Structure 1
Amino acid sequence: VSGGARAMVAAAFGLSLDSPEVEPLRQEFLDRYQEHCAVLSRPYDGIPELLAAIEKAGLIWGVVTNKPVRFAEPIMQRLGYAERSRVLVCPDHVTRSKPDPEPLLLACSQLGIDPSRVLFIGDDLRDIESGRDAGTKTAAVRYGYIHPE
């Protein structure tokens, strides 16, 4: 479910997004998710091989996510990516999240790389918009939150 925890909880309980019941359920969901977020997390098929090929080519990579750092860091650790990734940018690090280009521009700045030399790969339209507006090259994967239309 795209749209974050609020949309996920509303959909799961058949509530409208503006229902007063959504916020307490969202908070309970996030608290439970924090306890277990890394337990069943797995990379999409082909990602470990892709990252190995990127590293073998002497290139660097990083992660720009709309997932808060309290979830992103344990997942990165669990997958063995925390030590390999050169940058991790979460909403906690910026004032505006994707689709705004700010998170990508921060990652590029931290890496000392001009955005025009970056390929940003995403699984959501927000990723593609963020990459385009930051001046990176973009690519969309066919899984995640990308819809055929």
Structure 2
Amino acid sequence: MSTVVVAAIVAVTEIRYTPTGPAAAETVVLHASSYTQLVDMFVATYTGSRAHLLFAVGPIVLLLGAIGSAYLNSGLLPTGGLVLGPIFGFFVNRAGNPTVLKLDPTPLPLSDAIIFALTGASLYGIPITIIGFLIGIALRRVVVLGR
């Protein structure tokens, strides 16, 4: 079963060899080839030259998921995992890709990509998690009081 999963991942990703350090012969970084397109869409949305729905609808969907999770009496950690997971995936996808906001032309080692992803997920995901969790708890209490 795991071989099928690995084959599926390799089929939809691009394998880029990035030599880093003494274990350079063993370093392989997987990344999706669409990351550059996502960065271009983000920059266009951020600068206001062209708004893309992904960056407007995505946070709203994550917020609604956090509200639903908190409403269904999930804890803060499961709600946070629900919100932080996709954001972490978006940022860790930068590993090995030489274009991040057109500033850094070098590939990023996987360890740095994980730190970059944790930072991005914390920066954008924690506020969405807290807001969604508080709204979900408040909504649950309003519904319980209304019965």
Shorter chain as denominator, the TM-score bin is: under 0.3
TM-score normalised by L of structure 1: 0.25
Using CA pairs below 8 Å that are at least 6 residues apart, which structure has the higher relative contact order? 2
TM-score normalised by L of structure 2: 0.25
Structure showing greater radius of gyration is 2
